């Protein structure tokens, strides 16, 4: 690629950004759209919180004109004289320029007093018409060269023209100046040249209409004059045809000049998006070549062929991207496991040998023991996270939780309270686990003997608060 791509930044801006900027910095979501190759795919649809500024950065050729359509409709290339001038310059400038021999073949007889003056007049008219045809030929060639230069600029055939926005603007201004200077040298052709030849023909032929003998010297001279007049009239018609074609091309080049003088080559433009909440908007970006007005980009051929142009046109299809503005929910529900420093404890009775009786049988008593104990425990929990700062992707929350603990020989409802950090649907909670722990009641202690006929181990479940850490994932809620 022989030109340096530049960026046009299409800012899809939330109108309240300016008012909200005083409250703090705004997060900007940037999506990139490449319009320089014709083979790029559209960005994946994105969802952003309402009020988020979205920047669509369009990679473009400096001589591409791009637009963003908020109605999800491709922008059709506009009708513009710039697109016509190339065809005009390459086709209508190929007007006829055949040679016509209007030379004298018969001298006037002495009986025709003004014969030599008429011959001189016809010769002068033929020469003037030959000069006019040559002037028009040179003008056609000048206009053709200007059209070729416009085509080369539009296709970025000179890599330096498209190296930057500044170089593209400079090349456009230079071409406009060349057109202006060419127009300062218009072909000098009388507008009435056709009518003058017609008047001269009628005057001569009517004056000598009395000559009826075609074989007489006078008749042969008059026949030759009539042929010369017809030849000269043909030259005049050719001049008129050329002049009309050149006039059409001049009008087209004038429009081209006017467009080039104000051709936009800036690298940025902004398109505000209407204020939106809980709304999905599709933005379609379309680009056309600023010179040809066609939706193409011109790239150098990888393997250039002598019979083909060095530049190859690639169609640049419109690229659409979807932005969804959605209010960030103030709360969310997540579920996971709570790892608590409030260890589990299960108390119970355990038989302890005391000896043997007189019959040799083993004797025992029931003592209070810790059947199971640990410093940590894992409990399934559900949490409600109240967003106090941040957005949907990253948030700081105040969290409350509830879980069902089955670790202490019973199903106990327990609670959690503390802050949490949310990242892309995951939450890390750290705070107080409010749970129950088994303790001995009625003054009993570990290793005490349980009296006979006493109804089990006297237990009490007391509330304790210990630090706990949880890792949870957001539960999608029905909409």
Ramachandran assignment for 24, one of left (phi > 0), alpha (psi -120 to 50 degrees), beta (any other): left
306 in the same domain as 451: no
Q: Is there a contact between 397 and 387 (Cβ–Cβ < 8 Å)?
A: yes
pLDDT at 38: 67
Q: Does residue 479 lie within any of the structural domains? A: no
Domain membership of residue 86 (yes or no) is yes
Q: What gap in Å lies between CA 25 and CA 435, rounded to an integer?
A: 42
Backbone dihedral angles phi then psi of residue 351, each to the nearest 5 degrees: -70, 130
| Pairwise CA distance, residues 57 & 39, whole Å | 17
Is the torsion defined by CA of 469, 471, 474, 475 positive or negative?
Answer: negative
Is the Cβ–Cβ distance between 227 and 233 less than 8 Å?
no
Burial profile 361-376: b = 16 or more Cβ within 10 angstroms, e = fewer: eeeeebebbeeeeeee
Q: 87 and 66 share a domain?
A: no
- Answer for the pair 343, 370: CB distance below 8 angstroms, yes or no: no
Q: What angle do CA 231, 239, 245 make, to 5 degrees?
A: 145
Report the candidate in 138, 151, 240, 119 with the shortest Cα–Cα distance to residue 191.
240
Of 287, 306, 326, the domain-final residue: 326
If we measure between CA atoms, which residue out of 417, 418, 398, 278 comes closest to residue 332?
398
Residue 310's pLDDT is: 74
In this structure, are 29 and 169 located in the same domain?
Answer: no
Closest to 48 (Cα-Cα) out of 275, 277, 325 = 325
Residues 91 and 238 both lie in one domain? yes
* SS3 at position 117: helix
Q: Same domain for 222 and 290? A: no
Answer yes or no: is 88 within a domain: yes
Residue 114 backbone zone (phi > 0: left; psi -120 to 50: alpha; other: beta): alpha
Structural domain including 46 reads 6-70+271-326
459/372 Cα distance (integer angstroms) = 15
pLDDT of residue 282: 84
Does residue 75 lie in a domain region? no
- Is residue 250 located within the same domain as residue 377? no
- Whether residue 224 sits in one domain with residue 99: yes
CB-based contact 150:128 (threshold 8 Å):
no
Other CB atoms within 10 Å distance of the CB of residue 302: 6
Is there a contact between 53 and 25 (Cβ–Cβ < 8 Å)? no
Predicted pLDDT of residue 192? 58
Cβ atoms 218, 112 nearer than 8 A: yes
Report the chain's C-alpha Rg in angstroms: 48
- What total number of domains does the chain contain? 3
Residue 89, phi then psi, degrees to nearest 5: -65, -30
Q: Give the pTM.
A: 0.52
Q: Which residues contact 458 (CB under 8 A, 6 or more apart)?
A: 440, 441, 442, 444
Angle at 124 between CA 119 and CA 130, to 5 degrees: 130
Q: Divide the 479 residues of the chain into consecutive groups of 10 and give the mean pLDDT of each group.
A: 37 34 51 72 68 71 71 38 48 53 80 82 84 85 87 82 84 89 76 67 73 79 84 84 85 86 71 73 83 80 66 82 79 93 80 74 75 87 92 90 87 94 94 88 76 75 92 81
| Cβ atoms of 200 and 231 closer than 8 Å | no
Q: How far is CA 124 from CA 117, 193, 228, 442, in A?
A: 10, 13, 12, 142
In terms of phi and psi (left: phi > 0; alpha: psi -120 to 50; beta: otherwise), the region of 213 is beta
Task: Kindly state whether residues 157 and 58 are assigned to the same domain.
Answer: no
- CB within 8 Å of 117: residues ≥ 6 apart: none
């Amino acid at each position: 690629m022989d030109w340096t791509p530049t960026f046009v930044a299409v800012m899809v801006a939330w109108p309240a950004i300016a008012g909200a900027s005083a409250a703090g910095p705004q997060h900007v979501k940037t999506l990139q759209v490449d319009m320089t190759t014709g083979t790029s795919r559209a960005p994946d649809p994105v969802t952003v919180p309402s009020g988020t500024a979205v920047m669509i950065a369009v990679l473009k050729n400096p001589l591409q004109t791009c637009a963003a359509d908020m109605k999800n409709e491709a922008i059709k290339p506009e009708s513009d004289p710039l697109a016509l001038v190339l065809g005009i310059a390459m086709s209508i400038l190929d007007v006829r320029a055949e040679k016509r021999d209007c030379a004298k073949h018969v001298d006037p007889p002495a009986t025709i007093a003004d014969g030599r003056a008429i011959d001189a007049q016809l010769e002068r008219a033929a020469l003037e018409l030959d000069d006019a045809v040559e002037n028009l030929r040179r003008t056609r060639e000048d206009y053709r060269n200007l059209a070729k230069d416009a085509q080369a600029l539009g296709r970025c055939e000179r890599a330096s023209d498209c190296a930057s926005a500044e170089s593209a603007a400079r090349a456009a201004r230079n071409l406009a100046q060349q057109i202006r200077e060419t127009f300062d040298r218009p072909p000098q052709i009388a507008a009435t040249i056709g009518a003058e030849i017609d008047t001269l023909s009628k005057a001569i032929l009517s004056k000598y209409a009395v000559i009826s003998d075609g074989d007489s010297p006078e008749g042969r001279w008059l026949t030759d004059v009539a042929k010369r007049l017809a030849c000269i009239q043909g030259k005049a018609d050719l001049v008129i045809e050329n002049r009309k074609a050149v006039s059409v091309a001049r009008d087209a080049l004038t429009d081209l000049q006017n467009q080039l003088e104000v051709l936009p080559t800036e690298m940025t433009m902004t398109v505000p998006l209407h204020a939106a909440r809980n709304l999905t908007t599709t933005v379609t970006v379309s680009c056309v070549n600023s010179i040809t007005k066609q939706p193409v980009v011109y790239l150098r051929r990888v393997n250039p062929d002598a019979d083909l142009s060095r530049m190859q046109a690639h169609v640049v299809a419109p690229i659409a991207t979807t932005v969804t503005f959605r209010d960030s929910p103030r709360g969310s529900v997540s579920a996971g496991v709570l790892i608590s420093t409030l260890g589990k404890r299960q108390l119970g009775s355990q038989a302890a040998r005391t000896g043997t009786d007189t019959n040799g049988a083993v004797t025992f008593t029931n003592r209070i023991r810790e059947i199971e104990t640990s410093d940590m425990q894992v409990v399934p929990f559900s949490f409600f996270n109240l967003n106090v700062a941040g957005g949907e992707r990253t948030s700081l929350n105040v969290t409350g939780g509830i879980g069902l603990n089955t670790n202490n020989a019973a199903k106990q409802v327990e609670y959690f309270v503390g802050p949490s950090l949310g990242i892309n649907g995951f939450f890390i909670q750290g705070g107080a686990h409010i749970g129950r722990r088994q303790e001995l009641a009625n003054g009993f202690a570990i290793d005490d003997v349980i009296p006979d006929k006493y109804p089990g181990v006297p237990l009490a479940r007391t509330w304790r608060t210990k630090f706990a850490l949880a890792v949870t994932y957001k539960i999608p809620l029905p909409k």
